[in-house]
Amino acid sequence: MKRINFAIGVHNHQPVGNFDHVFEEAYQKAYLPFLKVHEKYPQIKLAQHYTGILFEWIEKQHPEFIPRLRKMVVRGQVEMMTGGFYEPILITIPDEDKLGQIQALSKYVKQKTSYHATGIWLAERVWEPDLPGPLNRAGIQYSVIDDAHFKYAGLREPQLLGYYITEHQGALLKIFPISEKLRYSMPFRPPEDTIEYLRSIASEDGARLAVFADDGEKFGVWPHTYEQCYENGWLENFFRLLVENADWINIITFSEALQQLPPIGRVYLPTASYREMMEWAMPAQTIHKYEDFDKWLKDNHMPAENRVFVRGGFWRNFLAKYPESNHLHKRMLRGSARLQKLMKGNSDRSLQKARNHVYAAQCNCPYWHGVFGGLYLPNLRFPIYNNLIQADVVMDKIERTANEKKNGWVHAGSMDFDSDAYEELIVESDRMNLFFAPQSGGALFELDYKPRAINLLDTMTRREEGYHRKLRQAIADKDHPAAAVEVASIHDIVVMKEDNLDQYLHFDWYRRSSLIDHFLHPYVTLDAFQKAEYGEQGDFVNQPYQVGTAKKGRAMVVSLKRDGHVWIGDRFVPIRMRKDVTIHPKKDVIEVQYTIVNLDNREAELWFGSESAFALMAGDAPDRYYFSKQAKIKDTRLASLGTLENIQHIGLCDEWLGLKIDLEWDKPAGLWRFPIETVSMSEAGFERVYQCSILMPHWRITLKANKEWKTNLRFLFGKC
């Protein structure tokens, strides 16, 4: 009789900062019901991986779950896997952090389940060839990786029924190829299909091994899978079929496979992740070409195995595709480097707290975007910055002198923060951090308010995404829906959370941040401006500024200056722009003085506006709103759009954060306000997401030849 070995792995994860109700829903619809069904079938052995984030939540909210899981581990029914405690993409973090994160989760798993885990789940299955080194140092013996990785190395389907050895500079690692066929059929196809597939690859010697390993959320959380897996009984039927066919299907754990089966051979894998991830990492227009060519292959009946020769991009290119992702990453690296430096020879116990914050900020989900990646979700970006700022506060207390702690402090320094070959200016104080980009409009692109541990410029620029074509097509086809035959994979579902989402597809030509200097055409409207469908008259928005710093008493003054031009009719008028930003120790205020000089020998009619973004946590919640000391605002929602005239004050309040922001200026101005909302895709479908509120006071100025105009702005922060 032909036989086959079959290894099953399940990966369970929720990101740092995800809503508690999302954790709870996933627990009730996937983690708990899966455990209940699995308990009934002690013959079924499989590997389980819970990230530290999720494990801690379960222990706190449902402590009864842990003893049940431990019992299954002790009787050999469950093998536990380890990984980075906070589920980082390991190749993106320093080696010291790789080791620390893995050791932290391994220790936790051992304490809670009595299992010494030697297998690792790689977050998003992102692989790079030097990973065996740090994994070996962390005591890891094996990992599970998509079979596509092996195919990229030249192996074919019949060669993937087992495991391989790889190494880097002599550091050994065993690697199991995850079957893409099983990943796409379980639980979307009838369980009998999986049994028949296993039968088709079984052999007389029984030495072959088939591997399924994928997200636990697909067994209950993904659309329609709860009904499929539990109400319709897919999971129980699947386990029952495995038991009924136990005479030729040998259910085996990965550790048992290492003991009972020899490796197929040696292989060296290229950089890779799963196929969809590599597609998402490419630019939008390239994704279109990729999709079109893939469709051409299918339409021309090319064998599916040839698709391996059509591979997408490289995970690290998310850092090139999205400046916001690169910003997060470099901010995390900066925090990690500072921590490593402090930890050398320092026994201060609070450093452990800072380390936990840095580790939490390495959670991968907000660093990328596809169907699952959460870069577009403010609630997932917020905790990354929140943890990094809290780590800063802890390290500030260790580094600063007693006098600085008492009286406050502020200092400035230049560095190539984001690794773009240009230096940024970073101003740090006891109350806030400010990051300036002299090379790009002298803009303020990060503003950390330490008392609330929030980056008030944690927003997204609106840009074209590859899937927007799919959205437009779905809207065009909405009158001709196709009938659903079976439960579809999450990658194939098109769901829209509201009608006419295509009307919100506006794309920015500059990065949304603060202190952006605009010169507008006399007939520009708020509607055109907020859609980024207008002509900029000046060359200041994203052009280089000169930068300098000086102490003014105990305060720090950052001076940003540019000699540029503004179109006035057919004249390209030379204009000097200068903005002096003052940051005080012990004060929750930023002062900005604008000076505009007409360098021409003729009078200039200018329309100048200073744009600033404020990234609070919701646009429509009743406890987040605008207010003004001088004007009545009809629609106070932070997601509202509107104008005010002849005012000198506007405020924003976020009662959930307990934060109030007041903007005031000394010359009466008009004010535009509008939200930045992106249209992005998630596992729940296409959705409109509030990113931030834009405020722009603006002035119409008549400036005589060689004369200057000044105004002063103040940003004040306090309790709501």
Among all residues, which ones are annotated catalytic? 124, 215
664: CB partners within 8 A, 6+ apart: 648, 649, 713, 714, 716
Closest CA to 161 of 120, 212, 227: 212
- Sign of the CA dihedral with 377 first, then 383, 384, and 385 last: positive
Measured between its terminal Cα atoms, the distance across the chain in Å is 74
At residue 234, what is the residue type? W
Closest CA to 46 of 71, 10, 12, 3: 10
Measure the CA–CA gap between 15 and 11, rounded to whole angstroms. Answer: 13
CB 430 within 8 A of CB 408: yes
In the chain, % helix, strand, coil (3-state, to 5) comes to 35, 30, 35
**Angle at the Cα of 30 (from 24 to 31), degrees rounded to 5?**
75
Provide the CA 90 distance to its chain's centre, in angstroms.
15
Q: What is the number of helices (H) and of strands (E) in the chain?
A: 21, 26
512: CB partners within 8 A, 6+ apart: 459, 460, 461, 462, 613, 676, 691, 692, 694
Q: Work out the widest C-alpha separation in the chain, in whole angstroms.
A: 96
Residue 577, φ and ψ in degrees, nearest 5: -115, 130
Coil vs helix vs strand at 466? coil
**What token pair was written down for 716?**
């004040």
118: CB partners within 8 A, 6+ apart: 82, 139, 140, 141, 142, 255
| Concatenated DSSP letters of 244-287 | HTTTTEEE--HHHHHHHS---EE--PPSB--HHHHHHTS-HHHH
Measure the CA–CA gap between 546 and 425, rounded to whole angstroms. Answer: 11
